[in-house]
Each structure stands twice: as C-alpha cells, then as structure tokens.
Amino acid sequence: MDKNNDEIIIGINIPKEEKEKEKDKKHKSKKVNKKKGVAKKATSKEKKTKARIIGNNRIIRNRVIKKFIIFFLVIIAFILFLSSSVFNIKDIEVENNNLVSKNEIIALMQLGDNKNIFSVSKKNLEQRIKENAYIEKAIIKRSFPNKLLIDIQERKVKYMIQVGEAFIYINNQGYILDKSNERKDVPVLVGIITDVSKLNTGGRLDVEDLKKLDTVNRIYEKANINNLLPLITKIDISDIKNYTLYLDSEKKIVYLGDCSNLNTRILYVCKILEQESGKEGEIFVNVDLNDQYVYFREKI
C-alpha cells in the first residue's frame, strides 16, 4: 500500500457554508418559538379583557334595568295618586260673566259627578261654554287640587233687528245673541238684507250686511264720543250712499250720506241740534262738504 495514498479519516469536516445554514435554522426556530409564546400570552390577555368587558356590560345592563323598573313604578304610583279622589272637582269659580250666570256656564260644561281635574279636557269644556252665543271666549285653568277657574269674555248687545213684535239682539260683529220681545236701549238696524230664517241665535248676518255693519260701528263710535249716541233710536243702512239716523226724542232725522269725513259730519249734526233744539225736522249732511252747505229743514 502506498503510504502517500493512504488516509485515516477520524472525523467529518463540514464546510463553513453548511455550518452557517444550520445556525440560521436554529436562530429562526428560536424566533418562531418566541413569537408563539408572545401570541399565546396575547391571547390570554384578550380573553381576560373580553371577560372584563362582558362583566362590566352585565353590571351596566342590570343597573339600567333596575332604574327602568324604579322609574316605571314611580310613574304608576304617580298616576294612581293623580287619579285619586283628592283631585275630584269640588269648586268652580267663574269671572267676568255679567250676562250669563255661573249656573248656566256650569250646566253648559256637562261635567257630571266626581270628575277628576286631570280627566277633563279644557279645550272641550271651553267649546261647550261657547255654545252660548253671548260667550265669545272662555279660558279655563286648573287650580290644584280640586278647583277650576273660568275667565269669561262676553259679547255685548250693540244693536237690534225688529222682526214683527220681536227684537233680535246682535253685537258689533253681527253675531245673533238672542231673541226677545223686550226692547233694549240700543239702536234698531233697518234695511238688513239677511233672510229672516237665518236670524237664529248663534248665527251671523250675511256678508253684505257685515260690510255695512263696519260703517255702522264707525257711526256708533263717533256718536258716542260726541254724546250723540243716546239720542239715536234707529239706523237705516238700506242705502250705503246715505246712512240715516233717527233721533226720536229730538223729533229729527239725520241724513249722513256715505259717511266719508264722518267725524266732521257728526260735528255738524251736533251743532245743528244745538241751534234747532225743540224743532221737528230733517238734518241734511249728505252733501259734498267741500262746496255745499249742511242745512236743517223744519217740518211744517
């Protein structure tokens, strides 16, 4: 055997490159193991956090339910308290009613017995009270524990319409308030075109009559200011170009014309009444005040 060719192999020589690859594998393996450990730890924390959140939600939900139950019980108790006999209406106070009595107003309300102050509708009661033509407005307030306060605004009789032997009372808005054989101390309106069948309590004059009534209200106001109103017994509105006043106590008829420059015309009437006192006749104010004279014509 050739000495030079014989070799004795004691160990295995691994190239450096392979050694380095093995080291990299071990290093990566350690990193993976570390990551797995972190993942496991993170998963454990998440479970604890989730459990804590669920627990908190349950506590909050239980608190909300308890509060709701308490609130519901309080509401029930409150409703039972309000519906108790303590709040049954025992007194009704009525103010500013001059034409309609307290008993009439209470009867209109149709309350019945043992009515709870909270069970009645104020709006409905007010509407019932207004069924009386004399009542224009009713305001109801609750006064605890068991009283109603009613403030009444009434319509006042300003004029009358004569139908046969009867008189129909109306206010300044043309609402028909009542019908009676009693003559009140207010002017009678003549020349109304509203059909007699419509002159029922609670109704109203036709549109054309309402337009004329606006002028009549102006006459009323100016006459009242100049102390002429108590003398007017009748107002004829049949001709809108010549409203006519009847002054029975003075035995005079006044022709006002179309009521333009009304204040001036009323002043002329007052002056002539003063000058022609005690004389029966007619006062003509239905002229053009710019170029014609107002005059009095005595009855012969």
| Nearest by Cα to 94 from 148, 161, 167 | 148
Q: Is the pLDDT of residue 92 over 60?
A: yes
d(CA 210, CA 51): 82
pLDDT number for residue 5? 47
d(CA 232, CA 185): 10
Q: What is the dihedral of CA 79, 81, 85, 88, to 10 degrees?
A: -60
Q: Each residue of 136-182: pLDDT tens digit? A: 999 999 998 899 999 999 999 999 999 999 999 999 999 999 999 99
Range of weakest confidence among 30-44, 109-123, 161-175: 30-44
- What does the angle CA 44 – CA 47 – CA 53 come to, to the nearest 5 degrees? 145
Helix (H, G, I), strand (E, B) or coil at 79: helix
pLDDT number for residue 191? 97
d(CA 185, CA 30): 119
Instruction: Specify which residues 21 forms β-bridges with.
Output: none
Share above pLDDT 90 across residues of the chain, in percent, rounded to a whole number: 66
Beta strand residue intervals within the chain, DSSP E: 91-95, 135-143, 147-154, 159-163, 166-170, 176-180, 188-190, 234-236, 243-247, 252-257, 281-284, 295-298
